[in-house]
Chain A
Amino acid sequence: MTATITFSADADGIATLSIDIPGRSLNVLTDAFFSDLDAALDRLAQDDALIGAILTSGKPSGFMAGADLEELTARHEQGISASEAAAWVAGKAAAFRRLETCGKPVAAAINGLALGGGLELALACHRRFALDRADVALGLPEVTLGLLPGAGGTQRLPRMIGIEKALPLLIDGTRLKPAEALVLGVVDELAADEAALAAAARAWLLSRPQAVAPWDRKGFRVPGGAGPLAPHAPRSFMAGTSRLKATRGRYPAPHAILSAVYEGTQVPFDTATRIEAKYFGTLLADKVSGNLVRTFLRKAAARKLPRQGREDAAPLAVTRLGVLGAGMMGAGIANVAAGAGIEVALLDRSEDLASRGLDHARKQCEREVKRATMNPEDAERHLARIRPSTDFAALEGCDLIVEAVFESRAVKAQAFAAAAPRLAEGGMLASNTSTLSISGLADHVADPARFIGLHFFSPVERMPLVEVIVGKETSARTVSDALAFVARLKKTPIVVHDSPGFYTSRVFCAYIDEAMAMLAEGVSPALIENAARLAGFPVPPLAVIDEVSLDLQKLVIEQAKADGLERRFLRAEAEPVVEALVALGRLGRKSGGGFYDYAEDGDKRLWPGLADLYPCRAAQPSAEDVGKRLLYIQAVESARCLAEGVIDDQATADLGSILGIGYPAWTGGALSVIATVGAEGFLADCARFARLHGDRFEIDAAILDRSMGVAAE
C-alpha cells in the first residue's frame, strides 16, 4: 500500500503497521514516513471495523533508529533559524500527537533498536511491548548530538515515569536493555520472541483498552511532582543545573532539556510540546549541534573508509598478530585484538614482563565479567588468544607485527630485525611510536613498502582513535590493509603522512607547550587549569602533562635536537619549564609530583613551589583569553599540518583532535573551531596573540582559507 508503512488488518479488526523505509539500512523518520503515518492514522481512525493497531518494524536491523541525520545536517548547513527549527520539529510532534489522540489504541511492538525519534514514536503509542533480545535497546540519545527529543520525548517520558527517573535518560542519552526499560516503566511488557510479542500486543488490543494517554485524563499529575516545590526539585533542578554547568558548560543541549522538562511539566501537554519544540529550535540553530552531528557522521564514515589500492583483492586478514613489548600500550593492543577474535603473540624481554601483558588483559576481563558485560566462557576464550612469550619464534606466521617497545630508534630497529623474519608471506610491520619518523624506522626493515605507523592511544581499550602514519615508502596496499585492521578492532582511523609528531602528537604538544609558555610568563597555574576547563577541555594541560610525564617531554625534545629538526619542532617555549621540573625530580604523577603534588588517596594539588619558580605576575589575563590561546594554538598548528600535507583534509584534524587528544567536541574539532568561533575574530585574536606572545600564532589568510575550505566527504 504505502512505501514506508505496510498496512494490514486481520479478522479481529487488528491492524498491523509495519515500518520498512526503502533504501535505508535502518528505519529513520523520513518525510515519506510521516506522510504515510498520516494516511495510516486516517484509515485507522475512520474504519469502524478496526479496533486498534500494532506498530512494528519490518526491518531486521531495528524498530526505528530516529531522525534522519543527513536531513539534520542539511538544515545546519542551510543555517536554519531557531523559529524555523521549532516549526520543523513541531510538525513531527504533531504527527505523534495525532497517533496518541486518534481514538483507537495503538500498541508498539518494539522488535529491535528504538532510538531517539523511534522511541518517541513508541512513547506516543498507548502501550509498549518489547522483544527481550540482545540486539534490542531503547534510548533517547539526541543529547549526544547537541539536540533534544523534540517529538514529545521530553514531555511524555517524565509524565510516564516521573521527572527524577526521566532526567538521566534524557540528559545522558542512556541506552536501556529491554529488562531495564521494563523496570523503569519505559515499556510495559517484555516478550521472549516475535510470536510472543505479537500475541501480547494482540491480547491487549482484544481487551478493548481505552486509547487515552494518562496525561489526557482529568486530574492527571506528573508522578513525583513537578515545578519548584516538588520534593525532588532540589536534586533534579537545583543540583541538576549546577552539575551540568560544572561539567558540560559548553554544551547547550543538556541544559535545554532540563529547562524543557522543568517548564513543560508544569503546563498541559500541548503547551508543553510547544515549549519543547522551541527549546529544540534553539539547539538545532546552534553551531554546537551542527558540530556534534558532523563529528558523529564523520566518525562513522571514517570507519568505512574506502579501501585504497587493492579494490580487486580483499585486504590482508590478520588472523595472527604479533605485539612486541608488553608494556601499557602493547598489553592494550593485545587485549583489544584478542577482543576482536585475533590470536596474539605478546613478546617481551623476560617472562615476567611478557606475562604482565596477559595480566592486564585478565584484569580487564575480570572487570567486565563482574559488570556482566562479558560472560566467563567468553573471557576464557579471550584470554586464551593472548600468548606471552620471550621467544621471537612465537611470532612465526604473524600477518601483522606491531612494535610497542621503548621509544628509541636503536631498540626498535633491533626488535624489527629479530621479528621481521617471522612475518608471514604478505604480512606487514607496524610501529606504535608517537614520535619517531616512520620513514626513518622503515630504513631498518627489508621491505619499507610493507611498513606503516599504527599509533594507538592510551588506554587502548577506551580510546577510539588509531593514527595510521604513512611513511615515504609505504604502499597504498599497506595503508588499506592497516585501515582494514583498525576497522576489525572497531576503532576509528585517521590517515596521516610521516612528519615530526605526525598529527596528534604535534598538536598535543602545541597544547601543553602553550600552557608551559603561559606558566613561564607568570600566568597563574590555577587560572590556566580553570580556563582550560571553562573552554571545554576534559583534562587541563598541566594535569595532562603530569599524566604523560615530563621526562618523556625531555626525551622528545632531545631526540628532536639529535635529529636536527627545524627550530619550530624544538619546543623552545616548553623546554626551560620541562628542564626545570625534571631537574627537581618532578616527573609527573608517576614520581608523586610534577606540576601537581599527588597524595596517597589520589587527590592532587598544584605544587606550591610553582609560585617560586614562576611568580604570578600582577596583571593576569582573562580566563577567556587563556582558553583561546589553548584552543587557537592547536587550530593554527592543525592549519599548518594541512598546508604542509601532513593531513589531507579538515576531517582528519577534527576527528584526530577530538578522538585522540581531548580537543573540546563542542568546537567541532581543531579546524572546525575556526568557523565555530568566526574566522574574523579568530584571525584578530591570533594576530593579537602573535604580537604579544610569539610568532607561533602567526597564520596567513591563504592557510586559513585552505583550513576552512577543504572538508571531508
Chain B
Amino acid sequence: MTEAFIYDHVRTPRGKGRPDGALHEITPIQLATQVLEAIRDRNGVDTALFDDVVMGVVSPVGEQGCNIARVAALQARYAQTVSGFQLNRFCASGLEAVNVAGARVRSGEADAIVAGGVESMSRVPIFSDGGACYSDPRTNWDTWYIPQGIGADLIATMDGYSRDDVDAYAVESQARAARAWDGEWFARSIVPVRDILGETVLDRDEHMRPGTTTADLARLKPAFAETGRRDGLDAVMLQRYPQVERIEHVHTGGNSSGIVDGAAAVLVGNAAFGAASSLRPRARIRAAGSLGSEPAIMLTGPAPVSRRVLERAGMTAADIDLFEVNEAFASVVLRYMREMEIPHEKVNVAGGAIAMGHPLGATGAMILGTVVDELERRDLNTALITLCAAAGMAIAMIVERV
C-alpha cells in the first residue's frame, strides 16, 4: 500500500492575538501565503508536483473567508494546477488538514499535498462566523453548548486538580518553551514573517512569558467563574453531570491556551513525489483518526481517540516515544496523562500552547511539526499528536520517523 510521508514542515512564529501583537498588521492571506512560499523556496521544489493545498481555518469569514487555501496558493504563485480548499474541525483543523492530505496520498488520488492552517485571531476573532450551536436557542439547548472553559474547569473538579496543580503545569509549559527557544530547537522550522518591505516583523513566539512562576499565575482571577455563575453555565453543566456539587473554577489566562496569530504548512507526499523532487522523507503517517465525545464537557476526547488510533496502528501507548497534546487548558493535558498513564517527560517536551499560543486553525499542523523536529533531535522514533476540539471532538495522528 502507498505510504504518506512528511517531507517538510514550516510554521510562522505566533504573534499576540491582539491589536498590539506583532502580526496584527499582517493579513491572514499573507500569513498563509508566506508559509506556502517557504515550503516551495527552502526545498527548491516545483509546485506543479503538488496536487492540492488544504488549510484549516476556524473562522473562515471576512479576511479568512472565501477558501483562503486556494487563494493563498495563487498568491504564493504556485502552479495554477494546484487546487485548494479550506476546512474546519475547530481546534483540530491543522492536524485534520494533514490527515486529509495523508489519506488522499495513501489512496492514490494525490502525490503531494501541502497541508496546514492559518488563523489571525487578532484580525478575525473567534466566534466571528456566528453559528447555530451558540446562537440558535434551539440548537444551543439541544446540543448542550457550554463554552469550553467551563468544561476545562469541570475536568479539573472531577479529577481533583487544584489551582496549584494547573498553575504548576502552566509554569512547566513556559519553562519548556523558553528552554526550546533558547536551545534553538525550532530554528529549523520557523519562517519569520515579513512585511511588504521584506523586513521581518516577527521571528519569535511573542506570547511566551519565560520565567513565569506559580506566584505570578496565582495572581490571576479564574476566567470562567463569573460567566459560569451569571449566565447559568455552571448550572447547565451540572444538569449533565449531576453527581458534581459545584464546579471549581481554576483556569485563568495563564493556564489556558493563548490567543495568537499564526500559520503552518506541512508537505505530505508519496515516495514517487520524493523521488521526483529529490526530497528525503522525514516521517511517515502511520495512523490517524477523529472521534466525537461528550459535547457539554467538550474536551475529553483526546484519550479515547488516541486509544482508537493506537489500536488501529496495532500499538499501545508504551510504543510512543513523544506525545503532543494540545494545551487547550492545563486540565486537558493532566487528564490525558492520567488516562493514558504516561509521564510528563514524554509530553509536550518543547512546551505548548499555554506558553506559545493556539492559533486555532494552524495549531494541529504546528505541534505535528514540533514533534517531528524533536524525534529527529532526540533520535527517537514514534510520536502521537492529539487535540481536543469544540462540540466534543478530538483528533489523533501517529507518525514514525523515517
Q: Identify the A interface with B (CB < 8 A).
A: 227-229, 233-234, 237-247, 249, 255, 258-259, 262-263, 524-527, 529-531, 533-534, 605-606, 620, 623
Contacts and interface: CB of A to CB of B under 8 A. Distances in A.
Contacts of A242: 140, 145-146, 231-233, 236
A231 B268 CA distance: 41
A526 B245 contact: yes
B137 A240 contact: yes
Nearest to B245: A526
Given A259-B137, A262-B136, A534 B239 contact: yes
Q: Name which of B145, B235, B242 has the most chain A CB atoms within 10 A of its CB.
A: B242
A526 B248 CA distance: 14
Contacts of B231: 238-239, 242-243
B131 interface: yes
Given A534-B239, A605-B245, A620-B243, A238 B135 contact: yes
Interface in B221-249: 227, 230-236, 238-239, 242-246
Contacts of B136: 228, 237, 259, 262-263
Interface in B110-161: 127, 130-132, 134-138, 140-141, 145-146
A228 B130 contact: yes
A247 B232 contact: yes
B54 to A, nearest CB: 27
B141 A241 contact: yes
24 contacts: A227-B135, A233-B134, A237-B134, A238-B134, A238-B135, A242-B146, A242-B233, A242-B236, A243-B231, A244-B232, A245-B236, A245-B239, A246-B234, A246-B236, A247-B232, A259-B138, A262-B135, A262-B137, A263-B136, A524-B243, A526-B243, A533-B235, A534-B242, A623-B239
A338 to B, nearest CB: 38
Q: Which 9 A-B pairs have the closest CB atoms?
A: A246-B232, A228-B130, A228-B135, A246-B235, A530-B242, A526-B245, A239-B231, A258-B137, A623-B242
A234 B127 CA distance: 9
Contacts of A249: 239
A233 B242 CA distance: 29
A229 B246 CA distance: 32
What range describes how many residues of B lie at the interface?
20 to 34
A234 B235 CA distance: 18
Contacts of A262: 135-137
Contacts of A255: 137-138, 141
A620 B245 CA distance: 15
Given A242-B231, A246-B235, A247-B232, A531 B137 contact: no
Contacts of B234: 246
A533 B235 CA distance: 9
B41 to A, nearest CB: 39
Q: Name which of A245, A526, A623 has the most chain B CB atoms within 10 A of its CB.
A: A245
Contact of B132 (A228, A247, A526): A228
Contact of B242 (A229, A243, A247, A526): A526
Contacts of A233: 130, 134-135
A530 B232 contact: no
Nearest to B229: A246
Nearest to A529: B245
Nearest to A279: B138
B238 A530 contact: yes
A308 to B, nearest CB: 45
Given A242-B232, A242-B233, A605 B246 contact: yes
A263 B245 CA distance: 35
Given A242-B233, A247-B232, A531 B135 contact: no
A623 B245 CA distance: 13
Contacts of B242: 526-527, 530-531, 534, 623
Contacts, number: 98
B244 A245 contact: no
Interface of B: 127, 130-132, 134-138, 140-141, 145-146, 227, 230-236, 238-239, 242-246
A612 B199 CA distance: 67
Contacts of B246: 605
A524 B246 CA distance: 13
Given A262-B135, A526-B242, 4 more contacts: A237-B134, A239-B230, A262-B136, A533-B239
Given A228-B131, A262-B135, A527 B243 contact: yes
Nearest to B136: A262
Contacts of B236: 242, 245-246
A239 B135 CA distance: 9
A68 to B, nearest CB: 29
Contacts of A245: 141, 232, 235-236, 239
Contacts of B134: 228, 233-234, 237-238
Contacts of B146: 242
Contacts of B132: 228
Contacts of A234: 127, 134-135
Nearest to B150: A242
Nearest to B146: A242
A30 B238 CA distance: 45
A669 to B, nearest CB: 24
A229 B234 CA distance: 25
Nearest to A262: B137
Nearest to B231: A239
Given A527-B243, A530-B242, A241 B130 contact: no
A282 B138 CA distance: 13
B76 to A, nearest CB: 31
A688 B222 CA distance: 45
A229 B235 CA distance: 26
A524 B242 CA distance: 9
Nearest to B61: A229
Contacts of A259: 136-138
Nearest to B134: A238
A573 to B, nearest CB: 22
Contact of A237 (B137, B233, B239, B243): B137
A238 B145 CA distance: 9
Contacts of A529: 245
A481 to B, nearest CB: 46
Nearest to A531: B242
Nearest to A530: B242
Contact of B239 (A241, A258, A524, A530): A530
A238 B244 CA distance: 24
Contacts of B227: 239
B302 to A, nearest CB: 25
A667 B184 CA distance: 66
Contact of A241 (B127, B140, B244, B245): B140
Contacts of A243: 231-232
A589 to B, nearest CB: 17
Nearest to B234: A246
Contacts of A620: 243
Contacts of B141: 241, 244-245, 255
A526 B244 contact: yes
A237 B137 CA distance: 6
A239 B232 CA distance: 8
B232 to A, nearest CB: 3
A241 B134 CA distance: 9
A556 to B, nearest CB: 28
Nearest to A620: B243
Contacts of A238: 134-135, 140, 145, 231
Contacts of A623: 239, 242
A242 B229 CA distance: 11
A659 to B, nearest CB: 25
A531 B95 CA distance: 40
A302 B317 CA distance: 69
Q: Name which of B131, B134, B137, B146 has the most chain A CB atoms within 10 A of its CB.
A: B137
A237 B135 CA distance: 5
B130 A229 contact: yes
Nearest to A524: B243
Q: Name which of A239, A241, A525, A605 has the most chain B CB atoms within 10 A of its CB.
A: A241
A246 B141 CA distance: 10
